[in-house]
Amino acid sequence: MTRRPIVLQGVGRLGSAILEGWLATGAVDPADLIILTPSEKPAAEAARARGARINPPLEALAEARAFVIGVKPAKWLEAAQAVLPHLAPDAVIVSVMAGVRGETISQGYAGRPVVRVMPTTGVAQARGVATLWAADAAALAVGQELFEPIAETVLLDDEALMHAATAVSGCGPAYYFAFTRALAQAGEAEGLSPEAAARLARATLRSAAAGVEGTEGLDALIDRVASPGGVTQAGLVALNENGALDRAVQDAVTAAVAKSTELSA
């Protein structure tokens, strides 16, 4: 029996990461991949070298069982017009777009079932996190099949919570990178060379991430580092003086939720 292909439309920042994760894990056989991209992309070329079809005649889409939308929220509807006449009626639409609601996407794809997935770019290393929501059980199963090999998955019952999941998780890596950059800058201000400060900050992020691989709670993990009356405690008190850190993080998440909600309007 021939396997029905998976289509990936858009090989930008996230589309490339998804593709890299699938190629690295074998989660999707490249021979079963159809990639739609207006310009040449290294990840797409790597997939082509292993058998993927890039921009084949649109008639090839008729075989597809899943269609992954990897374009920006402002572009998806225009992008849908071109492919819609060619898709099988039972193709599952997999959207990784921030904000855009499942019902809106389904309408744009003539009522086809939709699963929404909010991944992190860590899917490239098969170390992503992906939040999934679908109204349709079969569509959810397709989302799980495509993302479980490359991400820790969290399923939501309530689509409205995708905004919060996006703000915390989809955006989250950038918050950690921004914090790491600030840490490096602070190290430089205290006399470290730029190279040493950057190396220390980045390696410390990796080291801290290793700490959360286990099941120990975050308070306990902080306690392990912060000796009573010691150096870390002095740093932590300054970091969250009058709740400044908690407030900054809350403001970031609230602003991201507001933006995601705006995209859903």
Ligand X SMILES: NC(=O)C1=CN([C@@H]2O[C@H](COP(=O)(O)OP(=O)(O)OC[C@H]3O[C@@H](n4cnc5c(N)ncnc54)[C@H](O)[C@@H]3O)[C@@H](O)[C@H]2O)C=CC1
Ligand Y SMILES: O=C(O)[C@@H]1CCC=N1
Q: Which residues are at the interface with ligand Y (CB under 6 A)?
A: 98, 166, 170-171
Distances (CA, A) of 97 to 76, 77, 138, 147, 228: 9, 12, 20, 15, 45
The smaller minimum CB distance to ligand X, of residues 61 and 198, is found at 61
User: Using CB under 6 A, which of the segments 20-28, 73-81, 190-198, 226-234 binds ligand X?
Assistant: 73-81
Does the protein bind ligand X through residue 187 (CB under 6 A)? no
Enumerate residues 9-68 that contact ligand X by CB under 6 A.
9-15, 36-39
Token pair, residue 246, equals 């908690």
The smaller minimum CB distance to ligand X, of residues 92 and 166, is found at 166
Task: Provide the minimum distance between the beta carbon of 39 and ligand X in the complex, in angstroms, as a whole number.
Answer: 6
- Residue of the chain from 6, 118, 140, 198 that contacts ligand X (CB under 6 A): 118
Q: Which amino acid is at 258?
A: A
User: Which of ligand X, ligand Y, none lies near 37, with the C-beta cut-off 5 to 8 A by kind?
Assistant: ligand X
Residue pair 6/112 in contact by the 8 Å Cβ criterion = no
- The helix/strand/coil state of 230 is coil
- Given the rule CB under 6 A, which residues bind ligand X? 9-15, 36-39, 70-73, 75, 79, 96-98, 118-119, 121, 170
